[in-house]
Structure 1
Amino acid sequence: MTPDQLIAHYGLEPIPREGGLFRQTWAGPERADGRPEGTAIVALLTSDDFSALHRLSHDEIWHFYRGDPLEMLLLAPDGTSSTAVLGPDILAGQQPQLTVPAGTWMGGRVVAGGAWTLFGCTMAPGFTFEDYEHGDVGELTARYPAEAERIAGLCRP
């Protein structure tokens, strides 16, 4: 399986601002506030792209499906940072599923030496583009100076 085959199979399209390619695979019934009850996407990142730092107003669950592991930088509201790796090698500390709490800045890329990763994200209530807040390199490096180099590599204008 190649990235081109996955793109064709799922009809993947660019994720606005964030990076990568995606297709929404499910949206639940509309709630009274107009949001879907939940949403799910399938997404693809290749080694020449990244998921830019962003945060959401609700928890988001990431799921690893195929390919190489995905290394994620997580910047918590309390000023701490951590790294999580989505991947198949559970005994080596990789995770097949990761919940990113609401308000946490998140960004990621295929691990060094890897080529691509296929993953999914699920949210309840469902995602709307109004939920998305794009990271600013200046603001994030001021708040998380120990991660300045990684932040610079995971931000785009």
Structure 2
Amino acid sequence: MGEKRRVVFLVGASGVGKTAVAQVLEARPPWAGNTHYFDTIGVPSAEEMESVFGGGEEWQLWATRQWVNSLAERDAPLHLIEGQTRPSFINEAAEDCPDLEFLIVLLDCNPEVRRHRLTELRQQPELLTRDMENWAVYLAGQAHALGLPVIDTSQLDIEAVAHEIEARVGIA
């Protein structure tokens, strides 16, 4: 039996650099054609999340399962997906896919860097909320509790973060 196919999940709050790093990795092998963006599944309104799924947390679990099942059906030996989902949801969905090996990496940054990235660089100050800061703290706590690797992107450029991810995957 050969090596298991691998799925690398980059998780983190808004402003940590998930999408930027995924775009850098997507431009080169072995990530080219095998990089995915969680929100492309379609993010319903808060009202729809509540009425159809029972709330945002339930939608997030549903969407995570959809992604994991979709990636399990693909033949590529390595996939990268970035997005905002709970690591515990990834682990739960992964239980149904014994043929896949999952690596969850939390990207994090300090609040001042997040503020600068969201307001100055991305022009999305509406994302800079107490809920987003709480989400970042929650994800850091989950990563710690689950023993997941954490990359602090506060002082790293995108290429350095990409290299760190590749090193953790064993392809650097």
Return the TM-score normalized by structure 1.
Answer: 0.29
Greater relative contact order (Cα < 8 A, sep 6+): 2
Structure with greater helix percent = 2
Structure with greater strand percent = 1
